[in-house]
Chain A
């Protein structure tokens, strides 16, 4: 770097650039926050879905699964599982775990009651209604 490019020039670029782009980011965040409801007009965040989200979180579902592509990569994507498998399959699956097939990846039994299973399904239904800009590429997630 040339001698005319001094440390204080570099420092000014750092402070100026950081503040400038952070302010733009804040502006975009306000815009996104305001746009999320209309962008996701089909997503029904019901009371049951809110309760289901708590179940999702407190069973550490994201420790194995992805939800809209985020989480862990050990088990299937669940953002669209409501569409892929349907509510009854999901509930039946949860009740049947673990499979105990030797060598096969195992999912714990969470002992959810029927009301909790309904809430969890409501949350997964809500997740599947989020406008993900057509992600994933196909139903397999």
Chain B
């Protein structure tokens, strides 16, 4: 590292932290702090829209549902990206056995991403969406107003630049360092993330093609390349906390992500049933997406197997719990709940109902939120100069794990009950009710969902508090 890059590190790191192998790994810390901060924001806006489902005029017209939902989903993506980036900056130097190519660039990138993200959210909340679109160049290249990709053009360009800076930094580190399977899979996932995001700039006038390529971002992210990132992060933590031979863990990793892409790429077809695409997608999408639970099931078996075969007792038990939890919850949320509506004969009735919301909540939490929290749980004590947190802090973190996880189960079951009601009254009935009439019958489920949402927020607050609990360290 040059003097300039050393100077870019936070001053407090001048006192040597012997828990991290490479000083430049410390750049991960602000990324994780920001991720947790944005996570809190995501849940607050989730509570607003959860409430608006049964108290429709809440905060209207100041924050209409559509605006709050956009903030909810965009904060989700941004905090997960912060988490992935922090994980990359920690994991790649460790795996490559060298300092990060440029810690200074990583810190600059952090502030650019944080400020751009914050301005975008303020733009959503402070301006009418069409005014924001007009001011930010949407007339030049219309990309806005599509789910998850609501960001203004300049934000999208900013995301690409941030991703390029991040990938350049990590790729330069990898090129001149040790190349492990974990680091290569992580980099493949991250490059894939950036490359498929470029389809967010593709917005044909033809609605069918617009939707077709929209899924190249959304599906090929969460049911494709993000699973590579997830697998690499999980494998990295399992190597650390279990001490199991890397060869075994990496063999599992390749097998899991092989199944992910073998099933998940053509599995995109489960979104091509009813959007104006040819009928053959009903067969292809059903068959391949029905197999998508397989890699998630392997993820669960993998996590439990490695922990069972552990060769050491790592003092960070909370991290191990998160690693097992993400294995189970990603299988339930992405695998089982994804399967519920994926066959075209079922999807014909469930498409566009609360079943999608039920699946989405548990899958995003179980796979991506939890794997980022796994990584944070493992790395943050190290970044703060200790192998593991105190027993008291870990106890609170583990309680928070259970509160948040059970709350997501509650949210998912409430929304599933909502979906069953909606499908039977609005879709299956011989005398179908209108959408809004049906909603009146679902109100109790929305109340329950909001209640579980409050539980989730409580769990999140406990989680945040666990960072401030001191106490005697576990030896």
Contacts and interface: CB of A to CB of B under 8 A. Distances in A.
Q: B interface, how many residues as a size bin?
A: 35 or more
A10 B254 contact: yes
Contacts of B250: 7
Nearest to A138: B432
Given A73-B356, A74-B53, A140-B432, A58 B129 contact: yes
A35 to B, nearest CB: 5
A122 B17 CA distance: 64
Interface in B116-157: 129-130, 133-134, 138, 142, 144-147, 150
A104 B55 CA distance: 7
B251 A74 contact: no
Interface stretch (B266-274, B361-369, B398-406): B266-274
Contacts of B252: 1, 10
A7 B251 contact: yes
A36 B60 contact: no
B265 interface: yes
B57 interface: yes
B40 interface: no
Interface string A58-78: 111111101111111111110
Nearest to B354: A73
Interface string B244-288: 000100111011011001100110110111111111011010000
Contacts of B66: 60-61, 63-64, 72, 74, 108
A89 interface: no
Nearest to A135: B274
Interface in A1-55: 1, 5-7, 10-11, 13-14, 17-18, 21-22, 24-25, 28-29, 31-33, 35-36, 39-40, 43, 45, 50, 53-54
A84 B279 CA distance: 25
B355 to A, nearest CB: 9
B10 interface: no
A141 interface: yes
A45 to B, nearest CB: 6
Contact of B279 (A11, A25, A103, A133): A133
A137 B349 CA distance: 7
Contact of B207 (A39, A102, A104, A130): A130
A36 B276 contact: yes
A17 B426 contact: no
A137 B427 contact: yes
B207 A126 contact: yes
B471 interface: no
A13 B255 contact: yes
At the interface, is chain B mostly helix, strand, loop or mixed?
Answer: helix
Contact of B211 (A58, A70, A101, A107): A70
A127 B207 contact: yes
Given A22-B261, A61-B145, A70-B147, A140 B348 contact: no
A40 B204 CA distance: 15
Interface in B408-433: 426-428, 432-433
A135 B348 contact: yes
A140 B403 CA distance: 38
Given A56-B145, A72-B147, A104 B57 contact: yes
B342 interface: no
Given A7-B181, A14-B261, A17-B261, A58 B205 contact: no
Contacts of B265: 18, 21-22, 24-25
A53 B406 CA distance: 41
A86 interface: no
A106 B57 contact: yes
Given A14-B261, A70-B211, A136-B352, 4 more contacts: A18-B261, A29-B212, A60-B70, A70-B271
16 contacts: A13-B258, A14-B257, A45-B205, A58-B129, A58-B145, A60-B150, A63-B64, A63-B65, A68-B211, A70-B275, A72-B147, A74-B53, A98-B61, A106-B60, A126-B207, A140-B435
Interface of B: 49, 52-53, 55-57, 60-61, 64-67, 69-70, 129-130, 133-134, 138, 142, 144-147, 150, 181, 203, 205-212, 247, 250-252, 254-255, 257-258, 261-262, 265-266, 268-269, 271-279, 281-282, 284, 348-349, 351-354, 356-357, 426-428, 432-436, 438-439
Interface of A: 1, 5-7, 10-11, 13-14, 17-18, 21-22, 24-25, 28-29, 31-33, 35-36, 39-40, 43, 45, 50, 53-54, 56-64, 66-77, 98, 100-108, 110, 126-127, 130-133, 135-141
